[in-house]
Amino acid sequence: MKGLKKVTGYGLRVSGFGLQLLKSCCLLSSKVIQGIAFYSGLRTSVFGLFISLLFSFQSSAQPNPYLYQVNQYNLVRNDLNRLHNFGNDNYSQQFLQKLEKLVSTGEGRINVVQIGGSHIQAGMFSGQIRTRLQTMNGEMNAGWGFMFPYRMSRTNSPFGYYIRYTGDWQSCRNIEMRKTCTLGVGGIAATTSSEKAELTVLLEKENSLDYRYNKVKIFYQDSDSVYTISVDSAFVKNVVRTADYTEFELTGRIDSLNITIQKNAEKEGSFTLFGITTESAPNGFLYHSIGVNGAHIPAFLRCSMFEQQLAMLKPDLVILGLGINDAYGRKFSQAEFEANYAGLIAKIRRAAPETAIVFTTNNDSYLYRRYVNKNGAKVEESMMKLAKKYNAGVWNMYEVMGGMNSVVLWEKNNLAQRDKVHFTREGYLLLGDLFSNALMQSFEDYLRNKNQLTTSCQLVGSMTEKSFQNEGISPVTSSK
């Protein structure tokens, strides 16, 4: 069949992300398969596809855990690429149930929040996960998510968008401990006292997906109502104004928008921007990538509006990648690290009591470009302990990379940078693919475990009924 490729242990795989989770294909509804077949451009019948997938799945003997079409490297431990401690607790079960509904019906919104340091601010690692999720079964793109004009703070902006600005702005990041400022979930803020300031949100033309938006939400602090936020009225369908944000619903999807922040006459005060979110559809994945270069856990603990704003994002899954900066040095304390994470998890649980949480361990790294950072193994141990205590999952990046000193091989293969801490673009994209693989493996396991008993009973019942019919015997139904 055109567009199909045989993969040992995983049935048939179709170009595109949809059929890549069909190891459990025999457990999916016909509507799911119809949707996936339509997305993949197949012309074969749904029934034929189902039988082919079922046969291939049942006849496979050597499962291949590396499911998706990403570059293969001998240095990557694909056999260890999975989410640990994920899928059996109520938090992850609710997430997986919502994912099943989204895949099978196309309905529902899944909000993901990924928090970290420079690995996340760069936008390549998290951006690849966003792309994988939003294309896993046709059109599941609900929008870009969190944005911030990072250039105000003279730091790098993530690839995918950029925000031009006018006015005099003073920035503050959560890593700047000597500064006194109010911070939200983004870990960064900018304040202006200008009479008029403007923000222009633009999308990169090179984005692989269409991130034009029809809903924009601006998060800010303006307690004395000193400023008024507006956009071109010709684009506006509806406006919601609260003390914490202003949301504009637009008449159509656009790729650029000018936001005016105007000081009201005869009023004194300032306006603090915490971030912007853009959305494009009510169904699908909305992915908020939140990273601050150099951030450690205490940096986010000092964000006084973290809980309040995280609650507004309504996360179904929070991915926590803090730790590489906590463990950079020779005086790393596991006890302090675990205590700090306990405080952050408490904030997350109060803001989003039902959200699932996944830790991503530190990558293997060096100290000062010369010495192996042995704290990576300690962080791995601590995260496994925290995951069991708080019913969270763990993606063991350290283990999947190859363990201690594996970053040297990643550097030799142009996947890691010379500092042996950060990755190249190709390295970040590979990590995004690997995380996506692990998450989808958990989804497959959930589908299989959920439907295994039901499917077996239905098969036995059908075979029994046919056996009775062949013998000319009517099945007897007993009643009490």
Q: Identify the residue with better confidence: 215 or 31.
A: 215
Question: Which band of pLDDT confidence, cut at 50, 70 and 90, is reported for residue 70?
Answer: low
Q: What is the pLDDT of residue 454?
A: 56
Euclidean distance between CA atoms 322 and 316, whole angstroms: 19
For the ranges 19-33, 351-365, 374-388, which has the lowest average pLDDT?
A: 19-33
Q: Judging by beta carbons within 10 Å of its beta carbon (0-12, 13-18, 19+), is residue 62 exposed, middle or buried? A: exposed
Given a cut of 60, is residue 81 above it in pLDDT? yes
Given a cut of 60, is residue 110 above it in pLDDT? yes
Euclidean distance between CA atoms 220 and 199, whole angstroms: 13
- For 138-152, write each residue's pLDDT tens digit: 789 999 999 999 999
Average pLDDT over residues 395-403: 96
Q: What is the pLDDT of residue 71?
A: 54
Q: What is the pLDDT of residue 102?
A: 95
- For 234-281, write each residue's pLDDT tens digit: 999 999 999 999 999 999 999 999 999 999 988 899 999 999 999 999
Q: What is the pLDDT of residue 458?
A: 59
Average pLDDT over residues 211-236: 95
Q: What is the pLDDT of residue 455?
A: 56
Average pLDDT over residues 192-218: 96
Residue 290 CB partners (closer than 8 Å, separation 6+): 113, 114, 115, 116, 120, 146, 185, 186, 187
The domains located in the chain, with CATH, are 1-64 (no CATH), 65-142+282-451 (3.40.50.1110), 145-280 (2.60.120.1360)
Given a cut of 60, is residue 228 above it in pLDDT? yes
Strands of 137-291 (E only): list them.
Answer: 145-147, 161-166, 169-173, 188-192, 196-203, 213-221, 227-230, 236-241, 245-254, 256-263, 271-279, 284-291
**Percent above pLDDT 90 for the chain:** 74
| Mean pLDDT, all residues of the chain | 84
- For 87-96, write each residue's pLDDT tens digit: 989 999 999 9
Q: CA nearest 272: which of 390, 360, 391, 152?
A: 152
For the ranges 17-26, 41-50, 123-132, 373-382, which has the lowest average pLDDT?
A: 41-50
- For 315-339, write each residue's pLDDT tens digit: 999 999 999 999 998 899 999 999 9
- For 448-472, write each residue's pLDDT tens digit: 998 875 555 555 455 445 544 555 5
For the ranges 5-9, 173-177, 183-187, 433-437, which has the lowest average pLDDT?
A: 5-9
Output DSSP code: residue 394: E
Q: Judging by beta carbons within 10 Å of its beta carbon (0-12, 13-18, 19+), is residue 378 exposed, middle or buried? A: middle
Average pLDDT over residues 341-354: 98
What is each CA distance from 372 to 27, 296, 330, 396, in whole angstroms? Answer: 46, 20, 11, 18
Given a cut of 60, is residue 408 above it in pLDDT? yes
Average pLDDT over residues 201-230: 95
Residue 316 burial (CB count, 10 A): 22
Given a cut of 50, is residue 41 above it in pLDDT? no
